[in-house]
Structure 1
Amino acid sequence: MFSCNNPEARKPILKKSSSTMEESVLFNKALITAQENAFENLIKKDSLSTYIVSNFGFKYKFNKKSEVGYFPEIGDEIVYTYEIFDINMQLIYSASDIGIQKYVVDKQEIVEGLREGLKLMNVGDNATFLFPSHKVFGYLGDQKKVEINQPLIYKVQLIKINKKNESN
């Protein structure tokens, strides 16, 4: 008798709430504002340098600018080195810790800020990038030395670009 009854659907226990989303949005806006203010203070102290605002949500300057006019394109292999500093210019990872890196433009995964920053460089350029936390390791950090929601300063040297259509 009981086996002939149709099963009754269970109702969801969770109720949707927009308050959690609103809190998250407010937290992220405050975080970004605080990081931007910290970078502005850093830029004021470095008054001899000219920082450029990128279209990708970070600022950068050239420590050394090359006269080469070729920017990396999709599929090109880039050879570069970099160092990572915290907002107080304390070294987190040195170039020797990281080593020489190779990256195929838009074909491999690297942190968003570095991916976009490398596209702004030519061979021989040395640049300093001020990355808000959401452009690098975000709310997870790197699980080693980079903390959660930590803005970072990258000093990058572009050594070589192997063009996609060149025979090596």
Structure 2
Amino acid sequence: MSRIIALLICALLFVACKSPEARRPVSSKSGSFIDASVERNIKLNEREQAYIKKIMSENPEQEYIASENGFWYYYNVKQADSLMSPDFGDIVTFNYNIKTLTDDIIYSKEDLKTQTYVMDKQELFSGLREGLKLMKSGETVTFMFPSQKAYGYYGDENKIGINVPIKCEVSVNSIIDK
């Protein structure tokens, strides 16, 4: 009996004195999910751009301008070039609406009311923020934003769904230089 106990104690000491081994991860993650996500987003952007270009080709009466920021626009009302565009910290008052690319109203100008925005110091979806920088007081511009320049993957969690490209007609009422 004492021999069995001695053998068990020796066996426990032998196992307990073993040096620690590094644990290996249960599963290994590669960049495949990120790569697939990037590929999906590239294809989505290509589809949205093709759709926007199709709309532009169907409306040749408008003179569309491609912005450096990945959206398109045309002037409904254009002011003289001598007027200033807003800079960082300037206060811009404007009205706008949000529509689908087929002109169905999502939010009217009445729904959104007159907005007062301090340039680059407040939250605004990226396309509109960049679009306001192109405008002058008294101008009205219609912008067509692919979803990544609008509300993107999350939508607005109300009326605008996931990955929805939009059209906005924006009128700048005033720009106060700060």
Scaled by the length of structure 1, what TM-score is found?
Answer: 0.90
The separation in 2 between residues aligned to 1:20 and 1:150, in whole angstroms, is 23
Residue in structure 2 matched with residue 18 of structure 1 by the alignment: 31
The separation in 2 between residues aligned to 1:84 and 1:57, in whole angstroms, is 18
Unaligned runs of 5+ in 1: none
Deviations 1:12-58 (A, max 9, x none): 33412122122112111110011001101110121111111111111
Deviations 1:101-143 (A, max 9, x none): 0110111111000000000000010000110100111010111
The separation in 2 between residues aligned to 1:7 and 1:163, in whole angstroms, is 67
The separation in 2 between residues aligned to 1:54 and 1:138, in whole angstroms, is 18
Structure number with larger C-alpha Rg: 2
The separation in 2 between residues aligned to 1:7 and 1:81, in whole angstroms, is 67
Mapping of 1:22-101 within 5 angstroms?
22-67=35-80, 68-101=82-115
Unaligned runs of 5+ in 2: 1-12
Among 128, 134, 137, the alignment partner of 2:151 is 137
Scaled by the length of structure 2, what TM-score is found?
Answer: 0.85
User: Displacement of 1:8 after TM fit?
Assistant: 6.8
Q: In structure 1, what residue type is equivalent to 2:127?
A: G
Q: In structure 2, what residue type is equivalent to 1:84?
A: I
The separation in 2 between residues aligned to 1:150 and 1:129, in whole angstroms, is 14
Q: In structure 2, what residue type is equivalent to 1:144?
A: N
**Other structure's SS at 2:153 match:** helix
C-alpha change, 1:7 and 1:103, in structure 2 (3 Å) is: farther
Q: CA RMSD in A?
A: 1.9
